[in-house]
Structures are given as structure tokens and as C-alpha cells.
Amino acid sequence: MSPIVSRIDLTPEHRAELSPYFGTEGWWLIPQAELPGFVPPSLRPKIDSALVITAPTSTGGTYYVLSAVRLDRKERAFDNDPFGAILHINGPSTEGFFIHHGDWPGRTEAIPPGIWDELTLDAIGDYFFAIAPPGKRQGSLEELTVPHSGAFRETVAAIRRKVDGVESDPV
């Protein structure tokens, strides 16, 4: 089953936040305070940190994916609903896409009962921090953990389906 894709319009301010990532490749761990402006206010408190993942497109642009794992209290799980956009040579796209209900390994992780009993929204970082490779805050695409590499591939594929109107092979 294909994921549900939600399209959002990117304001000039949102596009300005994405522009510095043009031409980059790799991943960067960012704290909640550095989440881009397009992340809805209702979602921000559920995200402790996220990975920004970028890679070149075949046409000279850059894929941008925000792999943000959020706390899903209803499901008692950590869940990844990534966001993606294309940064073109002449600037970021005017639209971006949130990917919901994807199906890749590690997309949803149940919270163990012992942790759930102690978990408060203010203490997410005590138990969970975006699953970056230990001790690293940035790195290459090859170093991505399975949940984030899956989020990247799924998001790029969804972007290609929406933009091109056809299935394509993600990076």
C-alpha cells in the first residue's frame, strides 16, 4: 500500500530556510528549536529532534527530507512522518510533501511499557533522540540508520510520483 501524501505550499520564508541545503549531500541532526517553519505548531512539541537528509537529484537539484520521529501517544509509539521537497537550481520548490503511513522498517517503534510509564512530553529526549549513529551529529547517506534511510527512500519516491506522475526508483 502506498503512503498517504499531504501536499503543503511553501512560503517564501519556508523556501529561504531550505535554500542553504541546495547542493549538499548527507544528514544533519537538528534539535526541536531548529525545526523549519513549515512544521505545524501542533506537531512541534511531539518532536525532540530530527534528521535533515539531502542528496542530489538527476537534474542538478537537491532532494531535501526532514525525517522527524514524533511521539504518537494514542498508539504508544514513536512514528516517522517525514517531509520532502526538491531544491531546484533556481530555488526550492513552492510545494512540499508530508508522508503519512509509510511502510518501511523502523517507521513505527512501540514504546516499551517501562519507558511509557515514565515518559512525559517534556522528557522525550531522555529516551529518544532521532536514532542518529551514536556520537554523531552529521554524516554521509551510507551512515543513516534503517528507519531514516527508509524514510528518505520512501519520501523521494513519493515526491517523484507526485511531481512526475509516475513511479520511479528512489536514490
Over its length of 171 residues, how does the chain's per-residue pLDDT go in tens digits? 567 788 999 999 999 999 999 999 999 999 889 999 999 898 888 888 889 999 999 989 999 999 987 777 777 777 788 999 999 999 999 999 988 766 656 666 666 776 666 665 555 554 444 556 677 889 999 998 888 888 899 899 888 888 777 544 444
In angstroms, the first-to-last Cα distance of the chain is 20
> What pLDDT shows up at residue 130?
53
Of 36, 25, 54, residue with least CA distance to 159: 54
Q: What is the per-residue pLDDT for 27? A: 95
pLDDT at residue 170, as a whole number: 45
Q: What is the C-alpha to C-alpha distance for residues 111 and 75, in angstroms, rounded to an integer?
A: 9
Closest CA to 81 of 100, 107, 65: 100
CA distance 55 to 58: 10
* DSSP classification of residue 152: H
Q: What is the pLDDT of residue 81?
A: 82
pLDDT of residue 2: 67
Classified as helix, coil or strand, 14 is helix
Query: What pLDDT is attached to residue 156?
Result: 92
Q: Rounded to an integer, what distance in angstroms lies between the CA atom of residue 113 and that of residue 77?
A: 10
Grid coordinates in use for 21? 541545503
Whether the predicted model's global pTM rises above the 0.85 cut: no
Distance CA 62, CA 5 (A): 20
